Amino acid sequence: MTARKISRSHEENHWIVSGRIQNVGYRARVVSIAKEFVVVGSVQNLADGRVRIIAECEEEVSERFLDAIRIKNTLINVHNVLVEYSDATGDYAAFYKLVGEGETGERLDKASEYLEDMIVIMKTGFGEMKEEMKTGFEMLGSKEDQTIEEI
């Protein structure tokens, strides 16, 4: 890893993020956001379910980056971010997702569980929707017959 030259306006942010953030693509999203903001550092899962982010960037970028990683969507829900600031060290050349031993297999298992759940929901949901549509079209057909008889 090549250290980079930093200006005095750079700071190193140490953030501990909590919420529904593991096994939902949060770290990958943080890496993408870091690239957009030209931030260097790392993101990694912690054993207690939280995520640690170390981010070196210009001071004026820091708050915008922090706001951007407070993601709330269907899968990811950041509840809280503990914040610490210090002077940047220049130790990072890019932004890295740190992966622990066994994480890839664990993520594949979780993905297969999500896929199975989605398939069940789709089959059940579409089956119910099919019956509702059939009933609706039958009712529409009988209303259409009544209207034709009235004309």
The one catalytic residue among 45, 70, 80, 107: 45
Tell me the CA end-to-end span of the chain in Å, nearest whole number.
83
- Give the distance, in angstroms, between the CA of residue 142 and the centroid of all CA atoms in the same chain: 48
The one catalytic residue among 13, 27, 29, 50: 27
Distance (Å, rounded) from C-alpha 101 to C-alpha 105? 9
Q: 66 by DSSP, 3-state: which?
A: helix
- The β-bridge partners of 16 are 52, 82
**27 catalytic, yes or no?**
yes
Distance (Å, rounded) from C-alpha 48 to C-alpha 25? 17
| Residue positions annotated with a catalytic role | 27, 45
